Structure 1
Amino acid sequence: MLRVGLTGGIGSGKSVVARRLVERGAVLVDADQVAREVVAPGTEGLAEVVAAFSDRILDADGALDRAALAELVFADDAARRRLEAIVHTRVRARTAELIAAAPPDAVVVNDVPLLVEVGLAPAYHLVVVVQTTVATRLERLIRDRGMSREQAEQRIAAQADDARRAAAADVLLTNDGTLAQLHAAVDALWSDRLLPYEENVRHRRAVRTHRVTLAEPDPTWPQQYARLAARIRHAIAPADLRIDHIGSTAMTGLPAKDVIDIQLSVPSLADADGPLAERLADAGFPRLPGDWWDSPRPAGSGRWEKRLHGSADPARPVHLHLRVTGSPGWRYALLMRDHLRADPDRRAAYLMLKRELAAAAPDSGAYATAKDPWFDEEQLRAEEWAAGTGWRP
């Protein structure tokens, strides 16, 4: 099963995207619909809302008058937080029930207007954000929902801004064009990413890149790492393990293979082989089969064992290295990252080597092995730098 979080500002066209995904075959869990269900007449949720805001938020039939409630809470941050505390817990519980009832091979789309605001992004395999200019959203809210301009502006201001939503997005769908353009983008997302992603998660299959191609520096690599790390942290909770961005994509301005390298620190390899591995696989980070280790430096000092996981997402390759805290391989990954971050000349020398090796078009294994002699020498410089600066991992 693939869990997709779908969100967007009010008036962005998020519901249009949800309907199109359902037409393609997705199972939709609509948070707004669930929110109505948990405060329906006769529910404990409605009773608690009335206790908090009085019966003035009820209509003549005893049902929740959503317009009256909105008028109260959208102009009052404290009131809105009080309402959210009542409703969100019930919505999450009911949502979990609906997701659990979906088929094991389903792509479940959870349409959540406040997904970013309430910090739900790490709970999904993928977050899709629908983004539309504020001017267009205002026009839609006034024209289609009968709001005054002031009401529409209040609703938009009460939600996260575009920059905050974009930071949470694995996929950003821009909805400033035609309906046909939006449908085409959704269809491509469904066939090219969501379906293969679901199949990979279900079969515990990671995406591998075998040919080395250097990409120009992507300023969003740190942001992508942050989303992945949050997803990993959510998956392994309540364990509180150190997670680090390592490798070339962790160095600003350095061309690299477009693969995010992440180090997860574990107490022992036995811990890495236990339930932790299954939790990571469930979250979209399956273990790669076989034995994995880092090349020892200096040579002959014994191999540095680790576990290696990848990503089931066909559009975001990841190498997730599980190394024992304090082990030589664990320390080396952090040392070389920090040393090269601190020394632009050595970073430039490393880039020259990378370009030479990539031009020879080796596969990933040969490329990694070919870098070993350079790193054998560079480790000596790194240790001198660490001693001189008092560096600690």
Structure 2
Amino acid sequence: MLRVGLTGGIGSGKSTVATRLAEHGAFVVDADRIAREVVEPGTDGLRDLVAAFGDGILTADGALDRPALAAIAFTDDASRAKLNAIVHPRVGARTAELVAAAPDTAVVVHDVPLLVENRMGALYHLVIVVDAPVEERVHRLVHSRGLPEADARNRIAAQATEADRRAAADVWLDNSGPQDVVLAAVDALWADRLVRYESNVRLHRHDNRGAPRIVEYDPTWPAQAERVLARLRLAAGERAVRVDHIGSTAVPGLAAKDILDFQITVPDLDAVDGLSEALAGAGFPLAEGVLEDSPYGDDPDPAHWRKRVHVDTDPGRWVNIHVREAGRPNQRYALLFPAWLRADARARAEYEALKRELAEEATEIPAYGDAKVPWFTEAYVRAEEWAERTGWTP
């Protein structure tokens, strides 16, 4: 099962995207629809809302008067928090029931307006954000939904900012133009990524990585890494001592392969119950059992350089996860190396030149990695000297 979070500000056209995904076969769980169900007449949810906000939020026939509730609940943070405390737990319980009923082969799309505000991104394999400019959203709310303009602007202002949504988005869909443009983007997303992603998660496999190719530094790498870090930390839980973004993409300005590398530090590599299963469920299955990093420095014992490797199953994002034991030299070096490169411009330029040269010669990534070993051997000594000189520690 692939879990996809879908969100967007009010008036962004998120429902258009959800409908298209459903037409492709996605199992859509609509948080708004559930939110209406849990406050229907006769429910505990509606009784609690009346107790909190008064009889004025009811229509003449005893149903919830949503505009009346919105006029109260969206005017200040305290009222909005009160509303959320009543509705959200009930929505969560009903959502869990629906997701549990989805087929194992489903692409489950959870349509959640407040996904970003509630920091829910780590719960999903992928987050899709639908967006449109504020003025376009106001126009839609006023002319299509009949909301007063002040109400429309209050609702928009109460939601996440564009910057917050961009930070949460694995996929950004611009819905500011003609509808057929965004629908075409959804069609391509379904065919090229979501269908393959679902089968990869279910079968614990990843796409062919191809030959090494160096690209210029991508300023979005840190934000991408933060999203992966949140998923890894949630999956690993207390089994992990720490989880870090490592490797070349963790060094600002450094050209690199478009691969995000992470290290999960564990107390004991042989006694981490359930970690592999938890990572696989989050979309990061085990790729290799116990391996050994190339030893550097004065500790050649292979037992001190062991690790496990997990990979991402997402066809649109290449991720490697190295699971290493706390206190081992390879665990330390994985943290030291990017710290040293961030601090030493000369070493950074030297390493980038080497990477470009070797990537042009190598046809496979393992060969590319092996070719870097002599340089890493020397770099280990230089990095440790820098650490001693500056007082750096993990």
**When the two structures are superposed, what TM-score results if normalisation uses the length of structure 2?**
0.97
Q: Counterparts of 1:284 and 1:34 in 2: how far apart (Å)? A: 27
The answer to whether the aligner puts 1:357 opposite 2:345 as a matched pair is no
Structure 2: which amino acid aligns with 1:387?
E
SS, match of residue 322 in structure 2 = strand
Q: Counterparts of 2:244 and 2:169 in 1: how far apart (Å)? A: 20
Partner of 1:341: 342
Partner of 2:243: 243
Partner of 1:331: 332
Structure 2: which amino acid aligns with 1:30?
D
Partner of 1:223: 223
Partner of 2:72: 72
What does the per-residue CA deviation read over 1:163-189, in whole Å, with 9 as the maximum and x for residues that have no partner?
111110000000112111111100000
Q: Counterparts of 1:137 and 1:337 in 2: how far apart (Å)? A: 43
Q: Aligned ranges for residues 284-303 of structure 1 at < 5 Å?
A: 284-298=283-297, 301-303=300-302
Q: Counterparts of 1:150 and 1:129 in 2: how far apart (Å)? A: 25
Q: Counterparts of 2:79 and 2:219 in 1: how far apart (Å)? A: 39
Q: Counterparts of 1:240 and 1:313 in 2: how far apart (Å)? A: 23
What does the per-residue CA deviation read over 1:131-175, in whole Å, with 9 as the maximum and x for residues that have no partner?
101111111111101122211111110100111111100000001
Structure 2: which amino acid aligns with 1:85?
A
Identity between Structure 1 and Structure 2 (%): 57
Q: Counterparts of 1:77 and 1:335 in 2: how far apart (Å)? A: 43
**Post-superposition shift, 1:298?**
3.0
Partner of 1:54: 54
**Post-superposition shift, 1:14?**
0.3
Partner of 1:281: 280
Q: Counterparts of 1:260 and 1:58 in 2: how far apart (Å)? A: 52
Q: Counterparts of 1:60 and 1:189 in 2: how far apart (Å)? A: 45
Q: Are 1:235 and 1:283, in contact at CA under 8 Å, matched by a contact in 2? A: yes
**Post-superposition shift, 1:238?**
5.0
SS, match of residue 237 in structure 1 = helix
Partner of 2:8: 8
Q: Are 1:206 and 1:285, in contact at CA under 8 Å, matched by a contact in 2? A: no
Q: Are 1:7 and 1:111, in contact at CA under 8 Å, matched by a contact in 2? A: yes
Q: Which runs of at least 4 in structure 1 moved beyond 6 Å after TM superposition?
A: none
What does the per-residue CA deviation read over 1:3-26, in whole Å, with 9 as the maximum and x for residues that have no partner?
100000111010000000000000
Q: Counterparts of 1:219 and 1:357 in 2: how far apart (Å)? A: 24
Partner of 2:89: 89
SS, match of residue 206 in structure 1 = coil
Q: Counterparts of 1:375 and 1:289 in 2: how far apart (Å)? A: 22
Q: Are 2:240 and 2:266, in contact at CA under 8 Å, matched by a contact in 1? A: no
Q: Are 1:9 and 1:113, in contact at CA under 8 Å, matched by a contact in 2? A: yes
Q: Counterparts of 1:137 and 1:326 in 2: how far apart (Å)? A: 53
Q: Counterparts of 1:137 and 1:130 in 2: how far apart (Å)? A: 12
Partner of 1:373: 374
Structure 1: which amino acid aligns with 2:388?
A
Q: Are 1:285 and 1:311, in contact at CA under 8 Å, matched by a contact in 2? A: yes
**Post-superposition shift, 1:210?**
3.5
What does the per-residue CA deviation read over 1:184-233, in whole Å, with 9 as the maximum and x for residues that have no partner?
10000001110000000001113342410001100010110100010112
Q: Counterparts of 1:306 and 1:239 in 2: how far apart (Å)? A: 15
Partner of 2:171: 171
Partner of 1:390: 391
Structure 2: which amino acid aligns with 1:391?
W
Q: Are 2:4 and 2:126, in contact at CA under 8 Å, matched by a contact in 1? A: yes
Q: Counterparts of 1:243 and 1:90 in 2: how far apart (Å)? A: 33
Q: Which moved more, 1:288-297 or 1:73-82?
A: 288-297
1:20–1:209: structure 2 CA closer, same or farther, 3 Å change rule? same
What runs of 5+ residues in structure 1 fail to find an aligned partner?
none
Partner of 1:159: 159
The count of aligned residue pairs is 392
Q: Which moved more, 1:147-156 or 1:257-266?
A: 147-156
**Post-superposition shift, 1:362?**
3.1
Partner of 2:118: 118
Q: Are 1:206 and 1:287, in contact at CA under 8 Å, matched by a contact in 2? A: no
Q: Are 2:289 and 2:308, in contact at CA under 8 Å, matched by a contact in 1? A: no
SS, match of residue 167 in structure 2 = helix
Q: Counterparts of 2:292 and 2:42 in 1: how far apart (Å)? A: 60
Q: Counterparts of 1:327 and 1:65 in 2: how far apart (Å)? A: 62
Structure 1: which amino acid aligns with 2:162?
D
- What is the root-mean-square deviation in Å for CA atoms of aligned residues? 1.3
Q: Counterparts of 2:185 and 2:134 in 1: how far apart (Å)? A: 21
Q: Which moved more, 1:44-53 or 1:346-355?
A: 44-53
**Post-superposition shift, 1:62?**
1.5
1:389–1:238: structure 2 CA closer, same or farther, 3 Å change rule? closer
Q: Aligned ranges for residues 229-268 of structure 1 at < 5 Å?
A: 229-239=229-239, 241-268=241-268
1:91–1:115: structure 2 CA closer, same or farther, 3 Å change rule? same
**Post-superposition shift, 1:241?**
3.3
SS, match of residue 270 in structure 2 = helix
Q: Counterparts of 1:283 and 1:374 in 2: how far apart (Å)? A: 35
Structure 2: which amino acid aligns with 1:365?
P
Q: Counterparts of 1:240 and 1:217 in 2: how far apart (Å)? A: 29
